[in-house]
Structure 1
């Protein structure tokens, strides 16, 4: 039994515009669902889902705008040189990104927000992120990285690379794609997550059994008004929302 992170889910007022922004930012393609209720952003070369290497982005429409509260989940983008970092920041601002201030002081990375205010970071070159693709990491703010590491190490089939009082890091056991990182922060969760992970069982695994396993690990059921849907909404021990999709 295992689950794999397959996409980052972003809520948006205008999922077409936000989907286009992220596709152009990452050098990927946007594929709109036939029903018009989602825009999937993934690597160029045709729609492949789940992607065997990277974690895609699924942008879904919601009626509520983002609040002024900083998201507790964000993306870090990788760069290969100082020149690449500067070029990427400039290009992102042309695409509609704006500078964001989340309490950072003088840091070597640049904090921006997408067209609807979702914060993300453009990192300075770091050797650890060479080969991740354009998304270096999915970063989650939390109170206890060690507790998050215990839950997520059991919840998904990724490998735990590092855990300290301030930081926990996981990555696909295949050594490909982005990292999943948990950072200790002083703020607490006060609003529903605007960004969350979607997890997918393998075809031979049972979705209900996986959900039961997660509940035993400390996940709790979550009612977001989703109604009768083929996925299950849960929250981890610190309340971060995530979904378990139906096997495909």
Structure 2
């Protein structure tokens, strides 16, 4: 058994408005599975597809009180493209953000609801990822996170150091999943989290047991999917197999 990362879940005060922003940024399609939930995915894909990690925006009245521990990095193809994208993002309602990054070659911004993200300078590694270069998770121990997520999912571990770890779909397509060592302390529930899905025919309860044996903690919530936390307490959803 194994899972794969299929989407990120982002809490939003206004899921429709924030969905329109991110759809414009990524060039993706918008759909809605129910009131208060806006789905974004590339045009023409048959979900789930490893070529993209999709985005679900879910309405929430909880205020954003701290820097998100999960964010996306956007890919660019040239310095000119990076500058053009930053300018377009500002026109769409994004603002520059200071998370203590100092003088760096990428640009840190926040979407209209304050969710941080980065516009990267062109990097060869991300030339074929699509608009999202990476989904990035702050952590204390990248090596431990790589061990857990490398076994939790069938994604390949590409690089691991004391300061960062990188995984990507075993098919070698789509964005990377990166764990970056930071001194920030987790406070409260993450407003942005990972959603993983087992494969068709897998048993959901057996997958919960497997993930718990790897170090995940099950959380008792009354929903039709399973909510767990990784060894550093980051919540994630285990969706029904499919």
Shorter-chain TM-score range: over 0.9
User: What residue is the counterpart of 1:118 in the other structure?
Assistant: 115
Equivalent in 232, 239, 242 of residue 245 of structure 1: 239
Q: Provide the rounded CA distance (Å) in 2 between the counterparts of 1:233 and 1:4.
A: 15
Equivalent in 63, 71, 75 of residue 61 of structure 2: 63
- Asked whether 1:202 is paired with 2:187, we answer no
User: What residue is the counterpart of 1:158 in the other structure?
Assistant: 155
User: What residue is the counterpart of 1:102 in the other structure?
Assistant: 99
Give how far 1:52 is off: 4.2
Q: Provide the rounded CA distance (Å) in 1 between the counterparts of 2:229 and 2:50.
A: 25
Unmatched 5+ stretches in structure 2: none
Q: CA RMSD in A?
A: 1.0
Q: Provide the rounded CA distance (Å) in 1 between the counterparts of 2:241 and 2:146.
A: 25
TM-score (norm 2): 0.97
Q: Between Structure 1 and Structure 2, how many residues are aligned?
A: 242
TM-score (norm 1): 0.95
Deviant stretches of 4+, over 3 Å: none
Deviations, residues 61-111 of structure 1 (Å, cap 9, x unaligned)? 1111211x1111100000000010001111111111111110011101000
Give how far 1:187 is off: 1.3
1:41-190 to 2 correspondences below 5 Å? 41-45=40-44, 48-67=46-65, 69-190=66-187
